[in-house]
Structures are given as structure tokens and as C-alpha cells.
């Protein structure tokens, strides 16, 4: 039987690459990445680079995501870019990345509004959740994941939830080279799927995709993508190296073939 959750490999370029550099990098990736029906490859450039990249993008290979998006559609919100403005340009929007939660103090209240705004504008949220090191050491991981998932997906229907993507990103693993053990990662992702089931029902839990993120590299990508509840990876640092990212994409293709059997 065909696996219903297409494997996703997403590149979060964060605040890197100027407009010209981002376009050149995208073309370099394009040369290294093959068209794979059963792998969805998502690029998240900065806001400025999104538009020019969207014009030249090979849509057989890539889809675009924004790294954020404001919850009101238009108005006096100087400096913001709304989901309404992103509607024609991106398929996905990363919401609640740990940079946003911890460096910009975005609350679950704000993130719930962003999730709703994305859906209202036909953009699929890639909602990031995950505990800090302090929270993990205090045995609060489940509590944190429950709080983030229940607050941030407030007022989302089961149908909407079933197309959403949740990225499990332990904050202590982001950009640090440290990673959870496969058992720890699987345990957290299984807990996330159980939360989705409790909050939004069986169907949502069956179809929503869960990604792992945090120091994903070519040599550990397989370990995470093989896990039962893992449907792909969200990659930061290694997504800025075209060889590394292409290698992770290739691993995803092998995993997709394996899971489809
Ligand atoms: P990293 O970043 O791969 O550099 O750890 C992951 C992320 O922030 O999404």
C-alpha cells in the first residue's frame, strides 16, 4: 500500500543569503537534485529572496515556504509581511521556529493566530515545537509539547490539521551539532502524533506529517527519517551547502521508497 504521508525535506535558510546569492544557490541545488515524485522538497528563503526565487523556481523539484508571516492581512503593522501577501508565492509557512519563540518572544497566542492566518490564506503551516535543554532536564518535554500543540492549533479543524506539518525541533539540538538519540526522537514524535489524535482525531493523526529538525546532516538524516513517526526533516545549517542538502534529499528518496513498500 502506498504511504500516505509524502516524505518532506525542508531547507530553512534563516537570515542567510542575499537576493542574488539565494537565486544562485537555488540554481546550484536544482542541478544537484533530481525530480522525485515521492519526496517533497521545500525551500524557505528570506522574505526578500522569496519573490524572485518564485519566478525562476523549477516547480517539479521545489516548493516554497516563508520563514514567518504576520496574522493580520493588511494594515498599520510597519515592517510586517502578512500571510495574505504570501498567498500567491508560498505553499508553506514555517511558524513558531525556536528563533521566533525564543529570540523574538512569540507567544503561543500569537502563533495560534499565525497558524489560523496561514490556513485562511491557503498556506500550510509547518509548525515548529520543541523543548529547551532546561525543560528536557526537568522532565517537562511532554508538558511543553502538549502546551505548544494544544495552544497553537486552537480552532483548527480536523481536516485542516490533517494537512499540517509539525516539526519536532528540540531547541538544544538546533545549530549545536547535538541530537537526541533515535529512541528519544521517536518517543517525542510518537507523543506529538498522540497529541494530534487526542486534540484533532484519528484522521488528523494519520495524515499530519511530523518532521525532525535540529542538526540534521547527511550522516544522521537516515537515522531520523527511518523512525516510524518521522515523515521528513527540517534542515538549517546543512541546507546552506548544496552537496549536503542534495545528499539529505537523496536519503529521503531512499526512505520514501522503503516506506512505500
Ligand atoms: P540546524 O537548524 O539544522 O542548523 O540545527 C534547524 C532549524 O533551525 O530548523
Tell me, rounded to whole angstroms, the distance of Cα 133 from its chain centroid. 20
Query: Among residues 189, 257, 252, which one has the least CA distance to residue 222?
Result: 252
Distance in angstroms (rounded) separating the CA atoms of residues 37 and 260: 12
Q: What are the E-state strand segments in 175-258?
A: 209-213, 232-235
In tens, the pLDDT along 143-177 reads: 999 999 999 999 999 999 999 999 999 999 999 99
Residue 74 Cα to ligand 1 midpoint, Å, equals: 31
How sure is the predictor about 90, in pLDDT bands with cuts at 50, 70 and 90?
very high
Distance in angstroms (rounded) separating the CA atoms of residues 103 and 98: 8
Residue 187 has pLDDT above 70, yes or no: yes
216 CA closest ligand 1 atom index: 3
How sure is the predictor about 188, in pLDDT bands with cuts at 50, 70 and 90?
very high
Percent of the chain clearing pLDDT 70 (strictly above):
98
Distance in angstroms (rounded) separating the CA atoms of residues 87 and 257: 32
Among protein residues, the one with the nearest Cα to ligand 1's atom 7 is 236
Whether 31 is catalytic is no
176 CA closest ligand 1 atom index: 5
In tens, the pLDDT along 213-246 reads: 999 999 999 999 999 999 999 999 999 999 999 9
Among protein residues, the one with the nearest Cα to ligand 1's atom 9 is 236
Query: Among residues 149, 143, 147, 119, which one has the least CA distance to residue 210?
Result: 149
Q: Cβ distance 195 to 150 under 8 Å?
A: yes
Catalytic residue among 40, 169, 200, 249: 169
Distance in angstroms (rounded) separating the CA atoms of residues 42 and 10: 4
Residue 240 Cα to ligand 1 midpoint, Å, equals: 11
Residue 96 has pLDDT above 50, yes or no: yes
**What pLDDT score was predicted for residue 42?**
98
Q: How many CA atoms lie within 13 A of 200 on its CB side?
A: 27
The second-level CATH assignment, the architecture, of 7-260 is: Alpha-Beta Barrel (3.20)
**What pLDDT score was predicted for residue 37?**
86
How sure is the predictor about 2, in pLDDT bands with cuts at 50, 70 and 90?
very low
C-alpha cell at position 35:
525530480
| Contact residues of ligand 1, CB 6 A cut-off | 12, 169, 174-175, 213-216, 234-238
The answer to pTM > 0.95 is yes
How sure is the predictor about 259, in pLDDT bands with cuts at 50, 70 and 90?
confident
Report domain extents, the chain: 7-260
Q: Cβ distance 236 to 167 under 8 Å?
A: no
Whether 97 is catalytic is yes
If you average pLDDT over residues 58-74, what whole number do you get?
97
Residue 1 has pLDDT above 60, yes or no: no
**What pLDDT score was predicted for residue 261?**
41
Q: What is the mean pLDDT of the chain?
A: 96
**What pLDDT score was predicted for residue 216?**
98
Among protein residues, the one with the nearest Cα to ligand 1's atom 6 is 236
**What pLDDT score was predicted for residue 93?**
98
175 CA closest ligand 1 atom index: 5
Query: Among residues 137, 230, 211, which one has the least CA distance to residue 167?
Result: 211
Helix (H, G, I), strand (E, B) or coil at 97: coil
How sure is the predictor about 3, in pLDDT bands with cuts at 50, 70 and 90?
very low
If you average pLDDT over residues 14-36, what whole number do you get?
96
Amino acid at each position: 500500500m502506498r504511504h500516505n504521508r509524502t516524505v518532506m525535506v525542508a531547507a530553512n535558510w534563516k537570515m542567510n543569503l542575499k537576493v542574488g546569492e539565494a537565486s544562485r544557490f537555488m540554481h546550484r541545488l536544482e542541478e544537484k537534485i533530481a525530480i522525485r515524485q515521492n519526496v517533497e522538497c521545500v525551500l524557505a528563503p528570506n522574505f526578500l529572496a522569496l519573490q524572485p526565487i518564485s519566478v525562476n523556481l523549477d516547480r517539479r523539484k521545489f516548493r516554497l515556504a516563508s520563514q514567518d508571516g504576520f496574522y493580520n492581512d493588511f494594515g498599520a503593522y510597519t515592517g510586517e509581511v502578512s500571510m495574505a501577501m504570501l498567498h500567491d508565492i508560498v505553499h508553506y509557512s514555517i511558524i513558531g521556529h525556536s528563533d521566533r519563540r525564543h529570540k523574538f518572544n512569540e507567544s503561543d497566542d500569537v502563533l495560534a493566530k499565525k497558524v489560523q492566518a496561514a490556513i485562511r490564506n491557503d498556506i500550510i503551516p509547518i509548525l515548529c515545537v520543541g523543548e529547551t535543554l532546561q525543560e528536557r532536564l526537568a522532565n517537562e518535554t511532554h508538558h511543553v509539547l502538549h502546551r505548544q500543540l494544544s495552544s497553537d492549533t486552537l480552532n483548527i479543524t480536523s481536516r485542516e490539521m490533517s494537512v499540517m506539518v509539525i516539526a519536532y525541533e528540540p531547541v538544544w539540538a538546533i545549530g549545536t551539532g547535538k541530537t537526541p538519540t533515535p529512541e528519544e526522537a521517536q518517543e517525542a514524535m510518537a507523543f506529538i502524533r498522540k497529541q494530534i489524535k487526542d486534540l484533532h482525531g484519528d484522521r488528523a493523526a494519520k495524515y499530519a506529517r511530523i518532521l525532525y529538525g535540529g542538526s540534521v546532516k547527511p550522516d544522521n538524516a537516515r537515522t531520523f527519517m527511518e523512525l516510524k513517526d518521522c515523515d521528513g526533516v527540517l534542515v538549517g545549517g546543512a541546507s546552506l551547502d548544496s552537496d549536503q542538502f542534495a545528499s539529505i534529499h537523496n536519503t529521503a528518496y531512499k526512505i520514501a521508497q522503503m516506506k512505500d513498500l
